[in-house]
Structure 1
Amino acid sequence: MSKIQHRSLYLEVADRVRDLIERGDLAPGERISEKQLCERFGVSRTPLREALKVLASEGLIELLPNRGARVMRLTLKMVKDTYDLMGALEGLSGELACQNISDEGIKAIRALHDEMLRHYRDRNLANYFQVNQKIHEGILAASANEVLQEMYSNLSQRVKRVRYSKKMTDDFWHRAVQDHEHMIIALEARDGKRLGQILRDHLCNKLEAVSLAGVIEEERTLDAANA
């Protein structure tokens, strides 16, 4: 891995560690080795510790008094509570997007949708997730509400590692694609009420998918691990 160059160093480090968490290279509950990460990124402990504070504020890690830090464990309740808020925000973004988006913006999201379908047919899950995320980001951006976008982004960081889980079954993947088909139809019709409801239901379906896939811990497991 290349050494980190400029920009505020601790923010660069935060980006790198966040990526490790989202990819699953740092597992839920895993202790974070400052020594290993400093060597990996070619930085001192000071920017790393500042980066860990940033990630703690995002809910990705927890700082342990006099014991360093570890990756935050996710329980079904924690994810459900987060998805409830995200669903409300994403639903509103769909309603606003239909009011504000340009015809060119709709065409751009349609192009992303078609690209996502190609990745689905090729069974390329990694590329599918990348384009899928761009579609949701495009709808959020089209809402033209910066406060909504910032709130959603902060919440999304907490659950990104489960929302884009590689353990999604074929059945749920098919259902997700169907949801996106309905999304693009509603967007092209500028039916904000319909699009908002589809986006809310889509997150509910995703919660069901990740809970069944076993990527979220049971409350009792978390309690035992923290004991």
Structure 2
Amino acid sequence: MEDALEIEAGLPLDDHRPIVRHNLHDAIVGRIRDMITEGVLPAGSRVHEGNLGRDLGVSRTPLREALKYLASEGLIELSPGRGAIVRKFSPKDVRDALTVLGALEALAGRLACEAATEADIREIRAMHDRMLELYARRDRLSYFKLNQAIHSAMLRISRNDALADVHGVLQARLKRIRYIGNEGPDKWAGAVEDHEAMMTALESRDGDALANALSRHMKRTWERVKDAL
């Protein structure tokens, strides 16, 4: 039961502890996604189903279903000859996706400033403050998950489901790439500074300022990750 609570809270787990969560599919998907995000399963590497299943304490059937789901997110490629491969993105793939994400989030920022309730804004402020606590503790994976949840929440409070759906696909695909954008104290501090600007604009309901902050954040994300690709 402890594992279930930790997974649902988005906290990092020892990769070799068995999964006991009731919703096994979500638990396996979440654990493998974390392993890809952290680079435990490197880009371009083949996923050895036997070893991975043993480490996670699950059989091949739910493991394969999880890999299929991650393939639908664009994190895994399924090859008839080689099995599951962790997808490797070219620099152009990443820059193109970040450009689109920046445009989507800029639009969402404008819409959010018009449509969000005061309760919505307070919720994101609470998430932001919790993220800063994780940053202060240098709890990188938990920080990153909450960071991504804040971006998703921005889309949710825009009240545009089509926009949120398209954004969700690209955001899921770029988790590993955006995670490495926090490598090194200067890059991580820069990302936090970007989020401070976003929060200020949202609380002021300044749609243009929030749109500019979100778009600028994606451009800076590219600058932070390009040398690692």
The TM tier, using the shorter chain, reads 0.7 to 0.9
Q: Which residue of structure 1 lines up, in the alignment, with residue 202 of structure 2?
A: 187
Indicate if the aligned counterparts of 1:125 and 1:166 stay in contact, CA closer than 8 A.
no
Partner of residue 32 from structure 1, selected from 19, 44, 47: 47
Instruction: State the TM-score, normalized to the length of structure 2.
Output: 0.82
Q: Distance in 1 between matches of 2:35 and 2:173?
A: 13
Q: Which residue of structure 1 lines up, in the alignment, with residue 81 of structure 2?
A: 66
Q: Distance in 2 between matches of 1:124 and 1:40?
A: 23
Q: Which residue of structure 1 lines up, in the alignment, with residue 118 of structure 2?
A: 103
Partner of residue 137 from structure 1, selected from 137, 148, 152: 152
Range 33-42 or range 63-72, more displaced: 33-42
Q: Distance in 1 between matches of 2:72 and 2:145?
A: 25
Q: Is it true that 1:2 corresponds to 2:28 in the alignment?
A: no
Q: Give 1:9-88 correspondences, 5 Å limit.
A: 10-88=25-103
Count of matched residue pairs: 213
Distance change >3 Å, CA 32–CA 106, structure 1 → 2: same
Gapped runs of 5+ residues in structure 1?
A: 217-227
Letter in 1 for 2:131: M
Instruction: State the TM-score, normalized to the length of structure 1.
Output: 0.82
**1:37-91: CA deviations, max 9, x gaps?**
2323344333332322222221111122222121111221111111122111111
Q: Is it true that 1:169 corresponds to 2:162 in the alignment?
A: no
Letter in 1 for 2:18: S
Q: Distance in 2 between matches of 1:43 and 1:116?
A: 32
Q: CA RMSD in A?
A: 2.2
Identity between Structure 1 and Structure 2 (%)? 45
Gapped runs of 5+ residues in structure 2?
A: 1-16
Q: Distance in 1 between matches of 2:160 and 2:182?
A: 33
